[in-house]
Structure 1
Amino acid sequence: MSAETRNPLPFPRAILFDLDGTLIDSVPDLAASVNELLESRGLPELSLPEVRSMIGNGVRKLVQRAFAAQASPLTEAELDEANREMVQIYSRQLTRLTSLLPGAQEAIAHLHINGVKLGVVTNKPQVATREILLHFGLTDRLGAIVGGDAVTHMKPAPDALFLALDQLGVEPSQALMVGDSITDVEAARAAGIPVVLIRGGYTKAPVEELGADLICDSLKDLPAALNELRKAA
């Protein structure tokens, strides 16, 4: 196990997980979907690394970035239409190529068994999020699932975190956020919640530069790192 801690953290009553790049690797399905959309407009495909670098801030932002990368930027009206089409395309293949990231299943099972309340907070739409989590058998262990369209302001705003914690019945002072990007860090800071980042997600900057309270190599390391926090509490 390798974990780097910046500041002492209280052991949490609740943990909120990001989805894409934290619990799941959704790049293959997102890339297939956005490339189908681009092809329908007569534009060339993007590579997996290119799509990976565009993920963050929701599907609409991915569509906007994809068209801009092909030197075909969209007006707001065109973006609205392309986003609606992208959502329809992606809904047909949410789990065809998507996989759980290493340690995700085990970490959630371990934390659930040990009485930690769990939630998922993501910018992905609510219906798609629930379908993915159901596919991987995680919903029974989650007390809150909040998608980007369930709140007025998506991450990095704190709205979704507050909604999830309200559903879990836990105050922000008793919670922890686990994610992979600066969006998660900023959302957690805005909510007044400590944040753990997992290496290997969809961040464009080195994870060490994002200001997390704790960094783990993978979700496999998270339960052990939290056990150390419990001992120190």
Structure 2
Amino acid sequence: MSSGELADSTIVFDLDGTLVDTAPDIVRALNETMDLEGLPRVKLDTVRNLIGHGARVLIERASALQGVTFSATRLDQLTNEFVTFYAADIARESRPFDGVVQQLDILADLGAKLAVCTNKRTALSVQLLDALELSERFSAIVGADAVKDRKPHPDHYRAAVTRAGGVVRRSVMVGDGAADVGSARAAGAPVCIVSFGYSDIDAEKLGADVLLHRFSELAPACRRLLAARP
């Protein structure tokens, strides 16, 4: 059994835009997918804030920016192509944000269980975290395909907490977007939001309990939030 100040606690993380800066590899795969349709390639800055809702939504929104709409069948096909392109070189440029590894170590030393709750597919999430040598730090990695209803539904968050062996009352969500806030809030958990993620809404307007400008602020924030929830 873990010991430490946070031994009864679970810290749940979003993946893209929170733990890892995955945008370069996601946009690479997106452009390879756009090539199949003869569409112009998009720039990272143009679609960075569209990341975080899953590949299908990303393709749909990116193509809409160019005035193109696909049928549901074709969108499904392109999503599968995207996943193939992405998985083929999933961590070419993706890296953890500054301070992530150190904060994971600190939280683990405090006894906290760690989990991932992401709208990315579970297999891709595990593959990415394996490539970055981070997966073993997490007691649960729960992608959108592992639950009936994904974020912002609260059941996705609850699943991540319970599969990590925790309880929602003693948990904190760490994310970068509205889906993270919505999922945790509906489950009854406090939320930390990073200001450097992929949200298409200003981070200050997301209604988080704590806004993190640097990852080094995370462990102290979690300790404060959990101290207020005996």
- 1:191/1:129 Cα in 2 relative to 1: closer, same or farther (>3 Å)? same
1:57 deviation in Å?
A: 1.4
Partner of 1:116: 112
Partner of 1:3: none
1:227 deviation in Å?
A: 4.0
1:76 deviation in Å?
A: 0.8
Structure-2 separation of matches of 1:159 and 1:175:
14
Partner of 2:57: 61
Partner of 1:164: 160
Match among 88, 100, 103 for residue 99 of structure 2: 103
Q: Which has the higher contact order (CA 8 A, sep 6+)?
A: 1
1:39 deviation in Å?
A: 1.1
Match among 181, 184, 205 for residue 188 of structure 1: 184
| Contact kept in structure 2, 1:181 and 1:203, CA below 8 Å | yes
| Contact kept in structure 2, 1:51 and 1:66, CA below 8 Å | yes
Matched, 1:146 2:142: yes
Match among 79, 86, 95 for residue 90 of structure 1: 86
Partner of 2:11: 15
| Contact kept in structure 1, 2:27 and 2:44, CA below 8 Å | yes
1:141 deviation in Å?
A: 1.7
Using the size of structure 1 for normalisation, the TM-score is 0.91
Q: Does 87-96 or 223-232 show the bigger shift? A: 223-232
Matched, 1:40 2:36: yes
Structure-1 separation of matches of 2:35 and 2:160:
37
Deviations 1:50-93 (A, max 9, x none): 12022121111001111111211111111111111111111112
Deviations 1:108-149 (A, max 9, x none): 111011100100010011111001111222222210100111
Structure-2 separation of matches of 1:46 and 1:83:
17
Match among 208, 217, 221 for residue 212 of structure 1: 208
Q: Which runs of 5+ in 2 are unaligned?
A: 1-5
Q: Which runs of 5+ in 1 are unaligned?
A: 1-9
**Number of paired residues?**
224
| Contact kept in structure 1, 2:8 and 2:111, CA below 8 Å | no
Structure-2 separation of matches of 1:228 and 1:154:
28
Structure-2 separation of matches of 1:171 and 1:141:
18
Structure-1 separation of matches of 2:59 and 2:134:
28
Using the size of structure 2 for normalisation, the TM-score is 0.92
Partner of 1:79: 75
Secondary structure at the aligned position of 1:124 is classed as coil
1:158 deviation in Å?
A: 1.8
Structure-2 separation of matches of 1:172 and 1:230:
11
Partner of 2:3: none
Partner of 2:121: 125
Partner of 2:20: 24
1:229 deviation in Å?
A: 4.8
| Contact kept in structure 1, 2:10 and 2:112, CA below 8 Å | yes
| Contact kept in structure 2, 1:57 and 1:154, CA below 8 Å | no
Structure-2 separation of matches of 1:211 and 1:27:
24
Partner of 1:197: 193
- 1:185/1:86 Cα in 2 relative to 1: closer, same or farther (>3 Å)? same
Structure-1 separation of matches of 2:59 and 2:223:
40
Structure-2 separation of matches of 1:117 and 1:124:
21
Partner of 1:155: 151
Q: Does 85-94 or 134-143 show the bigger shift? A: 134-143
**Identity in percent:** 37
